[in-house]
């Protein structure tokens, strides 16, 4: 009666438990995903076996004391999602006194005990190939109607563990589900309990929200349920802050839409997070300019970099991650500078931002424009930036590419310092540009020795010809970049 395709690495585990006389069910996210017709990311098994029973049954296991979970390890499988199958004994939770975690976790007697402590009905369905579904809370139906609803009274469940509030929000963004109205009201009433949750856990949920397909939905919902204060309080100031004509949305919505475009493009976490914070300090820096008849936000990227650092630090993001996001926030305005773009300005920016961040910064810029709600099509100026960034990043063609240098000519070949050194190197460069295999130390040394036998006039001619060739090569390389970006 196998209704789903379950990898044999997983059935091997449930079968072994059953053959040893225990119950074994798939449970949680994997059953939810199977019902939705999606491939689970990982597989969880629940059983009435105790940890030592489980470790005895399988060759390679490791045991996590805190939760009683035993990881059953299969090193031979190429499929990473089944390399570790987590087997957890039935559990029941006793009292919660701090909205954080139960005072004690103990093993439960039955599958029913175990399902009862789970957060949402969609996560409280058990499935076994032998026995089919065990679904006391109507999870299958809720999955079909795409609704998130708690197991038991929502208020009680959120009082036990406030992280469930954020998990509900995260699942809306990941699964595209709605939150049942009673559960939603309870979220709103209990949101302040999130204050008791460790920032690291909030950070992890927030990160999953950002990496989901619809992070924007999660943030609109958090606004509606008045819980931003406990997750990303700095966003609140942007609500209702109007901007100039280049923007359709208030600062808050602009930030969300910038982040969302990163998700729509499938771009990195860093771009999405920087998108969420890039204009975080527009509210504090907004001034009315009489001359312009418009709002200005001078220095918002400088203040914003500071605010973003503080906010991400509060959320306990790692220092390296924070540094990168702050850099992106700090320099996101570079592109809007109305002044003429010079290559040296671009070089300076590349130095400020770091080569490793430069393409993320350009992508953030794309998100920013789309997030304004009044995007022009990719304007010429932006393509020009990309072209110039590429130009700034490439190594120019020059005598420094040669596997020989002036020092060798002076010290080993006993040539006096003077123009003959440059002529010789440029003559060698021309040969190498025509045939790159000649960029060989031995060859160049011999060839240099020959060249240095020439008189000034002859050597100068060769050198100048080399210089011309170098310039032509440079020009061509830059033209190729410009053609690629349609700015020629």
- Residues at the interface with ligand ATP (CB under 6 A): 28-29, 41, 44, 118-119, 123-124, 161, 163-164
User: Per this entry, what is the length of the chain?
Assistant: 488
Task: Give a three-class secondary structure readout of the chain.
Answer: CCCCCCCHHHHHHHHHHHHCCCCEEEECHHHHHHHCCCCCCCCEEEECCCHHHHHHHCCCEEEECCCCEEEEECCCCCCHHHCEEEEEECEEECCCCCCCCCCCEEECCCHHHHHHCCCEHHHCCEEECCCEEECCCCHHHHHHCCEECECCCHHHHHHHCCHHHHHHHHHHHHHCCEECHHHHHHHHHHHHHHHHCCHHHHHHHHHHHHCCCCHHHHHHHHHHCCCHHHCCHHHHHHCCCCCCCCCCCCHHHHHHHHHHHHHHCCCCHHHHHHHHHCCCCHHHHCEEECCCCEEECCCHHHHHHHHHHHHHHHCCCCHHHHHHHHHHHHHCCHHHCCCCCCHHHHHHHHHHHCHHHHHHHHHHHHHHHHHCCCCCCCCHHHHHHHHHHHHHHCCCCCHHHCCCCHHHHHHCCCCCCCHHHHHHHHHHHHHHHHCHHHCCHHHHHHHHHHHCCCCHHHHHHHHHHHHHHHHHHHHHHHHHHHHHCCCC
The interaxial angle of helices 358-371 and 380-393, nearest 10 deg, is 170
Closest approach, Cβ 189 to ligand ATP, in A, equals 18
Closest approach, Cβ 112 to ligand ATP, in A, equals 14
Closest approach, Cβ 36 to ligand ATP, in A, equals 11
Q: Please give the angle made by the CA atoms of 94, 97 and 101, to the nearest 5 degrees.
A: 65
Residue closer to ligand ATP (CB basis): 160 or 430: 160
Tell me which of ligand ATP, Mg ion, none is bound by residue 389, counting a contact when its beta carbon lies within the kind-specific cut-off of 5 to 8 angstroms: none
Q: Please give the angle made by the CA atoms of 349, 355 and 359, to the nearest 5 degrees.
A: 85
Q: Which of residues 414-433 bind Mg ion (CB under 5 A)?
A: none
Tell me which of ligand ATP, Mg ion, none is bound by residue 161, counting a contact when its beta carbon lies within the kind-specific cut-off of 5 to 8 angstroms: ligand ATP
| Cβ contact 284:237 at 8 Å | yes
Closest approach, Cβ 111 to ligand ATP, in A, equals 12
Residue closer to Mg ion (CB basis): 27 or 392: 27
Closest approach, Cβ 50 to ligand ATP, in A, equals 19
Residue closer to ligand ATP (CB basis): 44 or 430: 44
Residue closer to ligand ATP (CB basis): 44 or 301: 44
The residue assigned the tokens 């979220």 is 187
Q: Which of residues 343-402 bind Mg ion (CB under 5 A)?
A: none
Tell me which of ligand ATP, Mg ion, none is bound by residue 163, counting a contact when its beta carbon lies within the kind-specific cut-off of 5 to 8 angstroms: ligand ATP
Residue closer to Mg ion (CB basis): 41 or 484: 41
Tell me which of Mg ion, ligand ATP, none is bound by residue 301, counting a contact when its beta carbon lies within the kind-specific cut-off of 5 to 8 angstroms: none
Closest approach, Cβ 257 to ligand ATP, in A, equals 25
Residue closer to ligand ATP (CB basis): 86 or 301: 86
Closest approach, Cβ 95 to ligand ATP, in A, equals 15
Closest approach, Cβ 256 to ligand ATP, in A, equals 22
Residue closer to ligand ATP (CB basis): 111 or 124: 124
Measured from each CB, the residue nearest to ligand ATP is 29
Closest approach, Cβ 101 to ligand ATP, in A, equals 8
Tell me which of Mg ion, ligand ATP, none is bound by residue 88, counting a contact when its beta carbon lies within the kind-specific cut-off of 5 to 8 angstroms: none
Tell me which of Mg ion, ligand ATP, none is bound by residue 365, counting a contact when its beta carbon lies within the kind-specific cut-off of 5 to 8 angstroms: none
Closest approach, Cβ 133 to ligand ATP, in A, equals 15
Residue closer to ligand ATP (CB basis): 118 or 447: 118
Residue closer to Mg ion (CB basis): 29 or 215: 29
- x-marked contacts with Mg ion along 21-40 as a string, rule CB under 5 A: --------x-----------
Tell me which of ligand ATP, Mg ion, none is bound by residue 251, counting a contact when its beta carbon lies within the kind-specific cut-off of 5 to 8 angstroms: none
Residue closer to Mg ion (CB basis): 43 or 137: 43
What residues line the site for Mg ion (CB under 5 A)? 29
């Amino acid at each position: 009666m196998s209704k789903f395709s379950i990898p044999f690495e997983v059935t091997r585990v449930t079968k072994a438990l059953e053959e040893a006389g225990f119950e074994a069910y798939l449970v949680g996210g994997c059953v939810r995903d199977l019902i939705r017709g999606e491939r689970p990311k990982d597989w969880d098994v629940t059983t009435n076996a105790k940890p030592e029973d489980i470790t005895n049954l399988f060759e390679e296991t490791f045991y996590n004391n805190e939760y009683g979970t035993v990881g059953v390890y299969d090193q031979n499988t190429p499929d990473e999602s089944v390399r570790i199958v987590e087997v957890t004994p039935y559990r029941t939770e006793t009292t919660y006194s701090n909205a954080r975690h139960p005072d004690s976790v103990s093993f439960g007697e039955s599958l029913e005990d175990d399902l009862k402590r789970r957060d949402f009905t969609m996560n409280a369905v058990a499935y076994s190939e032998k026995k089919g579904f065990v679904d006391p809370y109507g999870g299958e139906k809720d999955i079909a109607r795409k609704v998130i609803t708690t197991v038991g009274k929502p208020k009680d469940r959120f009082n036990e563990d406030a992280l469930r509030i954020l998990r509900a929000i995260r699942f809306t963004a990941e699964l595209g589900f709605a939150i049942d109205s009673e559960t939603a009201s309870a979220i709103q009433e209990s949101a302040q309990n999130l204050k008791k949750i460790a920032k690291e856990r909030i950070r992890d949920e927030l990160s999953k929200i950002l990496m989901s397909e619809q992070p924007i939905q999660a943030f609109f919902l958090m606004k509606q349920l008045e819980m931003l204060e406990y997750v990303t309080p700095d966003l609140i100031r942007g609500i209702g802050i109007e901007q100039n004509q280049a923007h359709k949305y208030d600062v808050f919505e602009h930030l969300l839409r910038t982040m969302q475009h990163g998700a729509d493009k499938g771009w990195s976490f860093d771009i999405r997070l920087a998108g969420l914070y890039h204009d975080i300090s527009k509210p504090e820096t907004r001034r009315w300019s009489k001359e312009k008849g418009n709002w200005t936000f001078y220095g918002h990227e400088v203040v914003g970099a500071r605010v973003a650092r503080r906010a991400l630090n509060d959320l306990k993001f790692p220092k390296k991650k924070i540094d990168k996001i702050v850099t992106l926030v700090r320099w996101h305005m570079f592109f809007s500078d109305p002044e003429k773009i010079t290559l040296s300005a671009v070089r300076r920016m590349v130095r400020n931002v770091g080569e490793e961040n430069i393409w993320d910064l350009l992508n953030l810029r794309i998100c920013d424009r789309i997030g304004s709600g009044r995007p022009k099509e990719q304007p010429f100026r932006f393509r020009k930036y990309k072209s110039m960034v590429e130009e700034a990043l490439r190594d120019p063609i020059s005598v420094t590419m040669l596997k020989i240098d002036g020092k060798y000519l002076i010290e080993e070949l006993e040539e006096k310092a003077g123009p003959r050194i440059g002529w010789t190197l440029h003559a060698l460069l021309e040969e190498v540009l025509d045939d790159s295999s000649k960029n060989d130390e031995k060859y160049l040394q011999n060839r240099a020795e020959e060249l240095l036998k020439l008189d000034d006039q002859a050597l100068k001619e060769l050198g100048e010809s080399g210089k011309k060739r170098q310039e032509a090569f440079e020009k061509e390389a830059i033209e190729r970049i410009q053609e690629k970006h349609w700015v020629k």
